[in-house]
Structure 1
């Protein structure tokens, strides 16, 4: 699932990548992204891209599959056709599959050969490893399967090819996310030291902002819990979990409100009043 989210994040941040892989999609096409559940069999479609403001362009059923799965093709096409039936779809559709390599066991292709040949574009990431002159978008996908020893140099090439500061920050955000997924044992600081950040303001990347927000939330929630424990004794596991789940703005609000609490009932009432 981590890899799935990473792929969709790349596609949403680099929408022109869709047009590179599906030439009939204009490079400037905007998509509404969703992950609908097909009710009959509870099959979740990992990615449905719906072109906005142009019904003549096809829906794109996007899915990434890195591991072998002998039920993949049957589940993928089954989900598509159940969706088309359930939602009474009357427009064209295309499939886009991001796969690991050509020998990957994804089940029999025979029942779906016509669809695979005419409706679905398959990109095998291992094919990119032997290609040098590829676009910046494809280079991001190549980085996902690049061996660890070459990953840092490939990451720096991607960053060096950025033409503007905004493009640099956007690609840095994605490069960091890919490397964190590739090197899970390393800290964020160690990842940042691995790549060339001389020209980057890393505080402007979404990756950095997300990490910063997590740190702020954790610090604020720990402080609020300590104050509540001092006033009313140790919180129950349920109440502590509720406090930790609050966004930063509500944690700050609770930190002020608890000064007027008389007993633990006031905390429970506060949660009831802030459920929405």
Structure 2
């Protein structure tokens, strides 16, 4: 998995993290939809665009995560932005947010675009300079974990998991956060299996809790219910299906009726 794609997954799943990175409240993410947008004329794609979810005057944010040296970075980034604006004509203000792994990878804004700096259209994030913010915020800490070296990643991951268990009251969000931390760890330690990651960070014990087990069982149940209409079409009776899937007959009947209604 490429590192930048992992960041875009984080922003899509937890949009509030991006706004924390640029010094705004995480709640600001509730008003946005994160998209990957294709630019038709050049057959290129802008991987990160935060578009206001409603007709408001909030700006559009263009995000580009950069982990490699690229002297033409700003030429490409701004070209894609202006093509997007020309094609979509959003009638909104906009911001460009380049996210660099390290400040040394920033080639500097070319003179052709420096007029944008005076208008504050560009805001930078340097992941190696997040500092204390990463310790204070669970979301920013997850971003920091992506770029942390292996020697300190284990300690930080444990702190984030503990922080999630303490701070997050919504069990569904807590599950998403912990599973995403696990995904980051699989990326950080490619030689370890998921079972080994679970054992190393005590995730196996956490996943035995009542809530995680309930979620797992819900997933299994949904999978079974999705097969009901196909089995009915094959000529099986409700009783036969219920016995085969270990469900009660009423659930089977309801699943079949829902399919008929749709």
Fold shared, TM-score > 0.5 on shorter chain: yes
Q: 1:116 to 1:196 in 2, by over 3 A?
A: farther
> Once the two structures are superposed, what CA deviation does each residue of 1:108-157 show, in whole Å capped at 9, x if it has no partner?
54333343561122111111367664311111111011110111110010
**Per-residue deviation, 1:84:** 0.3
Corresponding residue for 1:15? 15
Distance 1:203 1:69 in 2: 49
Instruction: Please report the RMSD computed on the Cα atoms of aligned residues, expressed in angstroms.
Output: 3.6
Q: Give unpaired runs (5+ residues) of structure 2.
A: 235-262
Is the 1:17–1:138 contact (alpha carbons within 8 Å) kept by the matching residues of 2?
Answer: yes
Which residue of 2 is the match for residue 147 of structure 1? 149
* Correspondence 1:170 to 2:176: yes
Distance in 2 separating the partners of 1:150 and 1:79: 36
In structure 1, the residue matched to 2:82 is 81
How far is the alpha carbon of 1:4 from its aligned partner? 2.6
Partner of 2:248: none
Is 2:135–2:141's contact at 8 Å kept on the other side of the alignment? no
CA apart distance, 1:175: 0.8
- Alpha carbons 1:169, 1:202 under 8 Å: kept: no
Q: Are the structure 2 counterparts of residues 14 and 65 from structure 1 closer, same or farther at C-alpha, using a change threshold of 3 Å?
A: same
- The answer for the alignment partner of 1:183 in structure 2 is 189
Greater displacement, 125-134 / 150-159: 125-134
Task: Name the SS of the counterpart of 1:161 in structure 2.
Answer: helix
Aligned length, in residue pairs: 223
Structure whose residues are more often helix by fraction: 2
TM-score normalized by the length of structure 1: 0.67
Distance of 1:113 and 1:152 partners within structure 2: 41
Residue 51 and residue 154 in structure 1: after superposition, are their counterparts in 2 closer, same or farther (change >3 A)? same
* Cα distance change, pair 60–204 in 1 and its aligned pair in 2 (3 A): farther
Contact residue 18 and residue 25 of structure 1 kept, 8 A: no
Maintained 8 Å contact 1:18/1:27: no
Q: Distance in 2 between matches of 1:104 and 1:52?
A: 32
Change (3 A) 1:145 1:82: same
Tell me the secondary structure at the aligned position of residue 36 of structure 1.
strand
Tell me how far apart the structure 1 counterparts of residues 91 and 43 of structure 2 sit (CA, whole Å).
Answer: 22
Query: Taking structure 2 as the reference length, what is the TM-score of the superposition?
Result: 0.71
Change (3 A) 1:37 1:94: same
102-111 vs 50-59, greater mean Cα deviation: 102-111
Assess if the C-alpha contact under 8 Å between 1:71 and 1:107 holds in 2: no
2:63 aligns to what SS in structure 1? strand
Residue by residue over 1:4-43, the C-alpha shift from the partner in whole angstroms, topping out at 9 and shown as x without a partner, is 3311222233232233234567724332222111122222
Bigger mean CA offset, 73-82 vs 123-132: 123-132
Moved over 4 A (4+): 23-26, 105-108, 129-132, 200-205
Q: Which residue in the other structure is 2:160 paired with?
A: 158
What runs of 5+ residues in structure 1 fail to find an aligned partner?
218-248, 258-276
Query: Partners in 2 of 1:137 and 1:76 — Cα distance?
Result: 25
